[in-house]
Amino acid sequence: MAKEMNNRQAYFNYYIEDKYVAGIVLLGTEVKSIREGKVSFNDAFCLFDNGELWLRGLYIAEYGLGTYNNHIAVHDRKLLLTKRELKRLEIKLKDKGLTIVPLRVFINDKNLVKVEIGLAKGKKLYDKRDTIKQRDTEREIKRYLK
């Protein structure tokens, strides 16, 4: 079974304020490709359309053994959340500077593909520099402790 795929850039570019786990509507070949770990989060984000939450820009590579039934690598995918969660997210999105980004794709205990999404606020350039500085100091401390 494939490991979970994380969106490391999201944690670097955004402050994650809240996290949600959502189901995702996929085709069969997309699930097989995810199990192989062929997912890329470049330019992926979530948006609301008619009260539904959609994941746009998530790249899932075509399945190698797929035939003419193979999926398109990048297309909009519907996320499955409860109505209460959708309303809460939509209200929070109206705040200035907030967005919804995918944080990781994983397969749960019941072998269902899930997406962890985060309500995020963008970082400024100096915040990113601070993040790099903290990461470097933690790395140096780990080296000395070994």
Strand, coil or helix: 27: coil
Between 126 and 81, the higher pLDDT residue: 81
**CATH number for the domain harbouring residue 87:** 2.40.280.10
At 5, the pLDDT band (50, 70, 90 cuts) reads confident
CA nearest 75: which of 30, 126, 16?
A: 30
Express as a percent the part of the chain with pLDDT over 70: 98
- Residue whose token pair is 């770990």: 37
Instruction: Report the pLDDT value the prediction gives residue 32, as an integer from 0 to 100.
Output: 85
Checking if the pLDDT of 2 tops 70, the result is: no
Lowest model confidence (mean pLDDT) among 36-40, 58-62, 67-71, 109-113:
67-71
The per-residue pLDDT for range 34-53, each reduced to its tens digit, is: 888 888 888 888 989 898 99
Domain of 25, in residue numbers: 5-145
CB 7 within 8 A of CB 115: no
Q: Across the chain, how many H-helices and E-strands are there?
A: 4, 9
3-state secondary structure labels for all residues of 84-117: HHHHHHHHHHCCCCEEEEEEEEEECCCCCEEEEE
Query: 53 forms bridges with which residues in the sheet?
Result: 48, 79
Instruction: Report the pLDDT value the prediction gives residue 21, as an integer from 0 to 100.
Output: 94
At 8, the pLDDT band (50, 70, 90 cuts) reads confident
Checking if the pLDDT of 118 tops 60, the result is: yes
Checking if the pLDDT of 23 tops 60, the result is: yes
Number of other CB atoms surrounding residue 18 within 10 Å: 13
Number of other CB atoms surrounding residue 66 within 10 Å: 15
Per the prediction, the chain carries an average pLDDT of 87
Checking if the pLDDT of 101 tops 90, the result is: yes
Number of domains in the chain: 1
Q: Residues near 9 by Cβ (< 8 Å), separated by ≥ 6?
A: 41, 42
Instruction: Report the pLDDT value the prediction gives residue 71, as an integer from 0 to 100.
Output: 77
